[in-house]
A and B are shown apart, each in its own frame.
Chain A
């Protein structure tokens, strides 16, 4: 893994991916996303009667000629998407097994890919990186230097021993994301508060679109261990001696319950949930998310 979180080859592939926001976002720049605001645009939508004070440049003279009445044109206004990328960089994300990339690397790659896609579409990205505290944050910007800074921020490795405080991160984004946009969270969601994810509902309730990449290592998902060992946590939460043969079934039950719980919380919060196995190809995860975004109604 290089300092750049994105392999150039992958970056190139990712750069060709498109992504559309599920909801129109309010932007300053002209883009390809639908905006709830109807203003000057190249796409005519409808007429309305002229009212004193309207911009005379919007008068439709041809309609006047036909109806002998004054109407102005209404247009779709496409604006730039503001995306907020949230990366969990707690100690538990610094885990890999069998030469697979760490969860943090996979999460960062996912967010970087999203960032590049958005940059390619002329959208703005901001980022928030957290563990038990907010470690780094930046508002969404379009400037190329901002994207580089984002990629560099994503590339930083996690800190061992730091726990997870997702709630702080989401609250921060909730305060700073004044315009509707896209919230992308990449985390293993381990040891998060019960209501941390539920806080996403505040964002989705305000019109944001939320995507949660639940990143888990294959080893966490399958528990392939067979020999008794002392299993040590990565966030300073101690360890436990265990006989995998004796606890596998119970662990998988607990895992399933955990995954179901997180999924349901995300769904109830109005977010899209996707479980990412670090042993699978990232394009599959991204494609799954993007294919969902290609639903009718989206450009």
Chain B
């Protein structure tokens, strides 16, 4: 619908009568000229008249069009466009669009409605307005900075990933929106939130600056059914009563589904593990089952068969694996044919007796020669028990291993040559290793200030040492968890790169001390190994979708490859300068596997690095609180408040310009010839005229 800002200018349309009148009057007021050769003139006129008549007609039309366009332009025409948002006032606006799971996965779907509403808002903005776009799914993201190029935003709405299962981060999204509007030029600044405004969105707590208008547009009516059942949590723990068995505990929560019955299915590698009937009582249910642990197949899929408002949360993955074990490689520096005489026997026993809580320990033993060719990929901690200085190549490999996060524990003995150690392993020593000396001294026992044994000396009361290595020039960041009675360090630990090195100044067998016989020996070994082991970046907890993880490729590997739920893959090279990989592709809910890549071996899946993502369980709570807001918007109803006037005057003047150019071209002397080249008059008419002309 067209309107005019200055309709009085339309009076000027009366001037259109002027060229018509002039044209008509000209015909009436022509002077009369006597001319005998009228017959010749008539014939000439007949030929020229057709094209000139057309030119005259076009001239008249061009002049009429020029005048009409000018009059219209002066009348300031505008096209009234009904708008579905706002009142046509220019504004700076940021649309906060909730792309969390509770919106994108809702049944019946509301996400298309959300996108359509966002498009309608953008289309309703008058020229000169600015708009930005923020995604409110976790983590909140700025999709488009505030800009007056409004046409650039709608394509972004088509790029959303509806497979993502994000939680909601509306609070941070509002902060991002506020920041975008901070320097907005318009007096009217507005944030529009398009969301389901479920309880988990914390929408009632949203606060914005007082000069920013906050508008909420709910996608779901409060009266709509929010009945939903979901797997709130699932855990697998080792069954203490059965080896290699895991106890599964599944918690189901619901709202508005009391009394409903359904089934929980568990499958692994597409094979059904169990089906368990469920009955919702008090908005919940619990399932406990036992399954066998399969290290090669740690992922278990759990499914509920309820038809509810959010089907995506009816499926959850479970990481069913034994707790991560620390892999210890023991290098026996003085292997004995009889194991009872082996100096590492106490060490091995302590590791084997280590409690499983806090992480198991797995060990393997090699001799020094074998160690030279042993790969350290599947190793977390290396214990060099009374080992002579390794070759330079091995020493270099060992240092690299530590710097990439591995742990190394040296223990003293008669095979340890301080000079050789200083020469080849100087980078891994906490100080200047001196020769071993006999001593009859108490200790080692815990340093009260050290956290290794919490200062508990009870297990080392009767420890005595007869021979030990001394130290000089300790590094500044060296920790001394154990010391002798004369203050000399007994156990030293200091960081090297991403890893740590420990050095026991005496033997782990009874050769130089009675330490292995002390009650505190076992916890000393276990705790030291756990401290030396690389930090396990992931536990068995579920990772919230959208979280950025730090993946630490195993020491000795060349790269890792992450395999996502939808068969996507990402590869990250292992670099000494970048030992930790930041992985943020966790939008999808499901299992993520990690393969370790090495030039020396085939790719191997490392279950210790595998993880599962899932949206936070509160995302499944779809209750809508009462919106305490002065601008409540019922869902689906366009806030039609009027029209937006799209000015059209520039187009009218542009058309006038075109008419002026056309009129000028028609007045050129060549215009009739051009018309003639356009074969006017038509060929049939020309031939008839030629026939009338007498043949000379």
Contacts and interface: CB of A to CB of B under 8 A. Distances in A.
Interface string A260-273: 11001000000000
B34 to A, nearest CB: 5
A276 to B, nearest CB: 14
A30 B48 CA distance: 59
Contacts of A239: 32, 38
B31 interface: yes
B31 A237 contact: no
Q: How large is the interface on B (under 10, 10 to 19, 20 to 34, 35 or more residues)?
A: 20 to 34
In the complex, which of the residues A227, A230, A246 has the most CB atoms of chain B within 10 Å of its own CB atom? A246
A277 to B, nearest CB: 14
B32 A232 contact: yes
A36 interface: no
A190 interface: yes
B37 A255 contact: yes
B690 interface: no
B585 interface: no
Interface string B10-26: 00000000000000001
Given A246-B672, A261-B694, A220 B36 contact: yes
Contacts of B108: none
Contact of B33 (A232, A237, A253, A258): A232
Contact of B43 (A234, A241, A254): A254
Interface string A8-21: 00000000000000
A44 interface: no
Q: How large is the interface on A (under 10, 10 to 19, 20 to 34, 35 or more residues)?
A: 35 or more
A217 B672 CA distance: 29
A238 B32 CA distance: 12
B52 interface: yes
A242 B45 contact: yes
A190 to B, nearest CB: 6
Given A243-B52, A250-B47, A229 B33 contact: yes
A219 B34 CA distance: 11
B47 A260 contact: no
A240 B31 contact: no
In the complex, which of the residues A220, A232, A242 has the most CB atoms of chain B within 10 Å of its own CB atom? A242
Contact of A242 (B26, B34, B41, B672): B41
Contact of B39 (A91, A93, A225, A237): A237
B44 interface: yes
A253 B26 CA distance: 27
Given A241-B30, A257-B696, A231 B35 contact: yes
Contacts of B40: 190, 251, 254-255, 258
B41 A231 contact: yes
Contacts of A149: none
Contacts of A232: 32-35, 38
Contacts of B44: 247, 250-251, 253-254
Contacts of A240: 38, 41-42, 45
B45 A247 contact: yes
A127 interface: no
Nearest to B51: A246
Contacts of B37: 92, 190, 220, 255, 258
Interface in B652-696: 672, 693-694, 696
B27 interface: yes
A264 B696 CA distance: 8
A191 interface: yes
In the complex, which of the residues B31, B41, B48, B696 has the most CB atoms of chain A within 10 Å of its own CB atom? B41
Contacts of A225: 33
B36 A95 contact: yes
B34 A234 contact: yes
Contacts of B31: 227, 229-230
Given A250-B48, A261-B696, A241 B27 contact: yes
Contacts of B35: 95, 219-220, 231-234
Nearest to A160: B34
Contact of B694 (A103, A190, A194): A194
A229 B32 contact: yes
A231 B52 CA distance: 17
A237 B41 contact: no
Contact of B34 (A95, A190, A247, A249): A95
Contacts of B32: 229-232, 239
Contact of B41 (A91, A247, A261): A247
Contacts of B672: 246
A142 to B, nearest CB: 36
B440 to A, nearest CB: 134
Given A247-B48, A250-B45, A261-B696, A234 B30 contact: no
Contact of A234 (B26, B36, B693): B36
A251 B35 CA distance: 12
B674 to A, nearest CB: 14
Contacts of B43: 254
A273 to B, nearest CB: 14
B38 A228 contact: no
Contacts of A238: 38
B143 to A, nearest CB: 65
Contacts of A249: 48
B644 to A, nearest CB: 50
A251 B38 CA distance: 10
Contacts of A264: 696
A224 to B, nearest CB: 11
A209 interface: no
A15 to B, nearest CB: 31
A26 interface: no
Contacts of A131: none
Nearest to B39: A191
A194 B694 CA distance: 8
A246 B38 contact: no
A193 to B, nearest CB: 10
B27 A251 contact: no
A188 interface: yes
Contacts of B45: 240, 242, 247, 250-251
In the complex, which of the residues B27, B47, B48 has the most CB atoms of chain A within 10 Å of its own CB atom? B48
A171 B27 CA distance: 44
Contacts of B38: 231-233, 237-240
B597 to A, nearest CB: 88
Contacts of A93: 36
Contacts of B52: 243, 246-247
Contacts of B42: 240
6 contacts: A103-B36, A220-B37, A225-B33, A234-B34, A239-B38, A246-B52
Interface of B: 26-27, 30-45, 47-49, 52, 672, 693-694, 696
Give the top 9 A-B pairs by smallest Cβ distance, nearest first: A233-B38, A250-B44, A92-B36, A251-B44, A261-B696, A231-B35, A229-B33, A250-B48, A95-B36
Given A247-B41, A260-B696, 13 more contacts: A188-B36, A190-B36, A227-B31, A230-B30, A230-B32, A230-B33, A231-B41, A232-B38, A241-B27, A247-B44, A250-B45, A250-B47, A261-B694
